[in-house]
Every structure is written in structure tokens, then in C-alpha cells.
Amino acid sequence: MDAPPPGDGPSGAFSVPDTGKQLSVLTQRADFLRAARARRQPMPGFLLQARLRAPDEPAATPIRIGFTCSKKVGNAVARNRAKRRLREIARAILPVSGRPGWDYVLVGRQGATSDLPFEQLKTDLAQALGKLHR
């Protein structure tokens, strides 16, 4: 079996289109809590939380992203499906519209994250980023 491409897997980073930007995944609870206290932009399919990292914070990659779904979204199968969809829209949109030095958290919504058309979720993320960075 072939080895996964560099950037995929348990290291916390994942591959993105050729934009020169790399995304890493938030894993520490403290990072999620800091993002929850910062800016937020509700959209029909998800809630986007974002914060600009302080200059003294270490940054392995320019853009960091986290994903979360509460039990309100559904059982484990439904939550995992919602998070997979959030990961894919982040992989498609953040390298283009995200800003270096920012942490983003996508929070799944009950029913909407799994049910809305994928293209609408991508459009909503691009719009949410535009509103946050105004």
C-alpha cells in the first residue's frame, strides 16, 4: 500500500491546493476556548469562530483550523459526517480566503451541516471569512 502524501495524517497538517499556504489542525482545548471568546460569524450550515494569534504565540503554520460538533448534531456517525464535510470545505476555501496568523474553528449545526448542499457550504465559508476580515 502506498504511503500517504506528506502533510496528511496524524501530524495535524493536511494537504491543500497549491496556494503556498499550509493548514494545521487545532488539537489543544485552550486553542478552541480562545477562539470561542474571539470573533464569530454564524452561517446557515455552521458557526465560524476566528481569532488573530498574538505575535508571541508560536506558529508552526500560518493558518490553523479546528472542527467541532456537539451531541446535538446527532450520534457519532452524524457528527463524523458533519466534521468530514467541514474539513473538506476548509481544505477548499481557507488556503484561498484565510489569512496567515489566524485560528479558525468551524462548529457544526444540527441538521444543517450534513443536509445543506456542499457548494452552499463552500460559498457560506467564503462569505463568512469576508465578513470576519472586513
Structural domain includes residue 78: yes
**Enclosing domain of residue 126:** 37-132
Please list the rounded mean pLDDT of every run of 10 residues in the chain (134 residues): 46 55 88 95 96 82 92 95 96 93 95 94 96 91
Q: Is 0.75 topped by the overall pTM? A: yes
- Quick one: cell of 6? 506528506
User: Is residue 28 domain-resident?
Assistant: no
Does residue 21 form part of some domain? no
Asked if the structure places residue 79 within a domain, the reply is: yes
Domain presence at residue 9? no
Residues forming a β-bridge with 103: 51, 64
Give residue 19's pLDDT. 55
pLDDT of residue 43: 96
In a domain, 69, yes or no: yes
Question: CATH number, domain at 55?
Answer: 3.30.230.10
Say if 48 falls within a structural domain.
yes
The per-residue pLDDT for 21 is: 67
Under a CB-based contact definition with an 8 Å cutoff, are residues 50 and 103 in contact?
yes
Are 92 and 130 spatial neighbours (Cβ–Cβ below 8 Å)? no
The dihedral over CA atoms of 66, 73, 115, 120, expressed in degrees to the nearest 10, equals -30
Q: Can you name the residues that pair with 102 across neighbouring β-strands?
A: 52, 63
Question: How much is the pLDDT for 30?
Answer: 93
The strand pair at 46-52 and 102-108 is best described as antiparallel
Residue 12 lies in a domain: no
- What is the number of domains present in the chain? 1
